[in-house]
Amino acid sequence: MVTSAPANLRARQAIRDTWGGEVRVRGLRVLTLFMLGVVSDPGTAKLLIEEAKERGDLIQGRFLDTYSNLTLKTLSMLGWARRFCPQAHFLAKVDDDVLFNPSALLHFLNKSRDPYEQGDLYLGRVHLRVAPDRNPDSKHYLPSRAYPSYVFPDYCSGTAYVLSRSALLKISMAASASPLSTPLPPEDVFIGLCARAAGVLPLHCPLFSGGPVVPFSRCCYQAMVSIHQILPREMLHYWADVHSSQPCSWLSVRASLGLCKVRAMLGTAL
Ligand SMILES: *[C@@H]1O[C@H](CO)[C@@H](O)[C@H](O)[C@H]1NC(C)=O
Ligand SMILES: *[C@@H]1O[C@H](CO)[C@@H](O)[C@H](O)[C@H]1NC(C)=O
Which ligand sits closest to the CA of 28?
1
CB atoms within 10 A of CB 157: 20
Report the share of the chain in percent with pLDDT over 70: 93
Whole-number Å distance between alpha carbons of 18 and 157 = 23
28-60 per-position pLDDT tens digit:
999 999 999 999 999 999 999 999 999 999 999
Which residue, among 141, 31, 166, has the nearest Cα to 94 in the 3D structure?
31
For residue 262, the model assigns a pLDDT of 62
117-137 per-position pLDDT tens digit:
678 999 999 999 999 999 999
CB atoms within 10 A of CB 73: 23
Q: Does ligand 1 lie within 6 Å of residue 2's CB atom?
A: no
Which residue, among 190, 188, 183, has the nearest Cα to 142 in the 3D structure?
183
Which residue ranges in the chain fall short of pLDDT 70?
A: 114-117, 256, 259, 261-270
Domain ranges within the chain, ordered by starting residue: 2-269
With the most atoms of ligand 1 within 8 angstroms of its CB, the residue from 110, 113, 117 to mutate is 110
Whole-number Å distance between alpha carbons of 157 and 128 = 10
User: What is the 64 CA–ligand 2 centroid distance (Å)?
Assistant: 5
Ligand 1 atom nearest to 115, measured from its CA: 13
Q: Does ligand 1 lie within 6 Å of residue 40's CB atom?
A: no
Considering the domain delimited by 2-269, tell me its CATH architecture: Alpha-Beta Complex (3.90)
CA-closest residue to ligand 2 atom 10: 64
In the chain, beta strands by DSSP E:
2-3, 24-25, 28-29, 34-38, 58-64, 90-95, 99-100, 122-127, 155-164, 203-204, 226-227
162-173 per-position pLDDT tens digit:
999 999 999 999
Whole-number Å distance between alpha carbons of 166 and 162 = 12
CA-closest residue to ligand 2 atom 9: 64
For residue 270, the model assigns a pLDDT of 40
Pocket of ligand 2 (CB under 6 A): 63-64, 66, 68-69, 72
Whole-number Å distance between alpha carbons of 74 and 91 = 12
